[in-house]
């Protein structure tokens, strides 16, 4: 069993998608994962983000106070359940990673192919919420985070999703400004195309009102 240089952490664990894994994923390394993972948390090389979910601390952050971004952590948790290519950050989480919501949020929203209960984080007061959607049907792109590249809905898709469900994630006060910002960065033709494909024309009209655009 190899270890990461300078730490007692097995290299196998660092290869997990978005550096995130569950105790059952560590069973290939440890016969009794939970006590070993607790030991690694105490040594500062693992971060316990939620009950049953661990993140490998970046090498340059070992021994320092470190907290992964909420959106990256949510993507990592979802990746352990569904696979990295089957979870897409959407709504307010996409808006935040795309720079349209400046303040930190207390909820993250992930589009996934199967239903899942919300997961409360243990390292802060925040919740990961899962929305049942076909990831392949979403217009998405890859965005870099501290944990690696994650799938995030494009500005056009995010505009439509925010306008469709502005209360999703409990950040309603941020939605009008976020939509206006992302609308200015969107391709108008692509917006119309997606709205028609996904039957979100009404959401597009609401987005145009918030963005101050005449339809």
The helix (H) or strand (E) run that includes residue 151 is strand 148-153
Domain count, the chain: 2
Residue 46 is part of which domain span? 11-61
Judged against a pLDDT cut of 50, whether residue 42 lies above it is answered with yes
* Residue pLDDT, tens place only, 121-149: 999 999 999 999 999 999 999 999 999 99
Specify the pTM.
0.92
100, 183: one domain:
yes
98, 184: one domain:
yes
Say what the pLDDT of residue 155 is: 98
Say what the pLDDT of residue 88 is: 98
Judged against a pLDDT cut of 50, whether residue 196 lies above it is answered with yes
Say what the pLDDT of residue 97 is: 97
83, 128: one domain:
yes
Q: What is the mean pLDDT of residues 173-202?
A: 97
Asked if 20 contacts 49 with a C-beta cutoff of 8 angstroms, the reply is: yes
139, 40: one domain:
no
* Residue pLDDT, tens place only, 200-210: 999 999 999 99
82, 29: one domain:
no
Cα 35 to Cα 3: distance, rounded to the nearest angstrom: 18
* Residue pLDDT, tens place only, 9-38: 888 888 888 999 999 988 888 888 888 899
48, 127: one domain:
no
In a domain, 92, yes or no: yes
197, 100: one domain:
yes
In a domain, 2, yes or no: no
Handedness of CA 11, 16, 20, 26 (dihedral sign): negative
């Amino acid at each position: 069993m190899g270890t990461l240089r300078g730490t007692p952490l097995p290299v196998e664990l660092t290869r997990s998608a978005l550096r995130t894994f569950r105790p059952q994923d560590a069973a290939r390394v440890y016969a009794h994962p939970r006590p070993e993972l607790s030991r690694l948390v105490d040594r500062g090389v693992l971060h316990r983000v939620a009950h049953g979910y661990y993140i490998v601390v970046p090498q340059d952050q070992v021994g320092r106070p470190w907290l992964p971004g909420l959106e990256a952590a949510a993507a990592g948790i979802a990746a352990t359940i569904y696979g990295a290519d089957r979870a897409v950050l959407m709504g307010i989480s996409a808006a935040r990673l795309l720079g349209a919501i400046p303040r930190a949020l207390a909820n993250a929203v992930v589009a996934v192919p199967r239903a899942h209960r919300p997961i409360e984080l243990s390292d802060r007061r925040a919740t990961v919420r899962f929305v049942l959607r076909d990831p392949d049907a979403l217009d998405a792109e890859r965005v870099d985070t501290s944990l690696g590249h994650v799938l995030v809905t494009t500005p056009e898709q995010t505009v439509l999703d925010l306008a469709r469900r502005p209360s999703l994630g409990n950040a309603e006060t941020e939605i009008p400004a976020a939509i206006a910002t992302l609308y200015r960065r969107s391709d108008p033709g692509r917006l119309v195309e997606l709205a028609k494909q996904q039957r979100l024309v009404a959401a597009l009209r609401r987005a145009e009102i918030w963005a101050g655009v005449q339809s």
